[in-house]
Amino acid sequence: MKNWIPNDLIYEILSKLPAKSVARCRCVSKQWRSILRHQVFTELFLARSKARPRLLIGVQQDGEWRFYSTPQSQNPCENRMSPADFHMKFSKGISNYSCSYASGLIYFDGMCIRKEDEDAKHVLCDPLTGKYVILPELRVGDSYSYLGFDPVDKEFKVLFMTTPDYIASKDLDHYILTLGTGEFKWRTIQCPFTHKPMWTRICINGVLYYSAMNSDGNYVIVCFDVISSSLTQNAVLDLMD
């Protein structure tokens, strides 16, 4: 009788590994890669990770990004800080463009990578595993783009707003790229209103919020529902007065 280990037991064992070790295990074989990409393992690993939270620290200096993490204390009165673990770096040559964070991944709107060509790339990276992926190129000129996470379907989406003269017009095509669907390509969407995007943004519970100015010159919060891929705007008080 051939010896075998149930997948449930394999999931249980591997879910206790640190993220960097899991990334290395994916290179063992196609079978291991399939196991570690299975939704059951992913959900178990995330559940265990939440039980032992870590602080992610990104440091930018002289054009170079370095990422560290350290265990997050569950005792708010504890002042002791554990040593930080180094995970990865992006070498000099990175542009000074903004970046977005959502559910463990970091998206850089424009990054130069040495082993690629000199053009800035749209890059999505997992700082804990050291893995990154370069998104397909869109030649549309000026743009603003942001990262969001869909907690229902467990999907990451990049929202790409076409902004000639820094304006996202309702008459232009804008784009979305969904990670993990098997189709690594942009699809077009329409925005029902014209606005001027800004870099301040945050993704909470499946909604990406970013600051903007509407066509009347008033400050608004644009809401991108990551699940439905729809855009709305809400007025805010003018804090400049």
**Closest to 43 measured CA to CA, from 72, 75, 1, 8:** 8
C-alpha 76, offset from chain centre: 28
Q: Which residues are CB-contacts of 139 (< 8 A; sequence separation ≥ 6)?
A: none
Burial of 239 from C-beta contacts in 10 A (0-12 / 13-18 / 19+): exposed
Q: What is the pLDDT of residues 191-222, one digit of tens each?
A: 999 999 988 889 999 999 999 999 888 999 99
**Closest to 99 measured CA to CA, from 140, 56, 138:** 56
pTM above 0.75, yes or no: no
Tokens at residue 18, please?
Answer: 């640190």
Give me the residue label for tokens 């993704």.
203
Q: What is the pLDDT of residues 131-187, one digit of tens each?
A: 788 888 888 888 889 999 998 888 899 999 999 989 999 999 999 999 877 778 899
Mean pLDDT of the chain: 79
If pLDDT is split at 50, 70 and 90, which confidence band does 238 have? very low
Q: What is the pLDDT of residues 99-108, one digit of tens each?
A: 788 888 888 8
Q: Which residues are CB-contacts of 113 (< 8 A; sequence separation ≥ 6)?
A: 90, 91, 93, 121, 123, 134
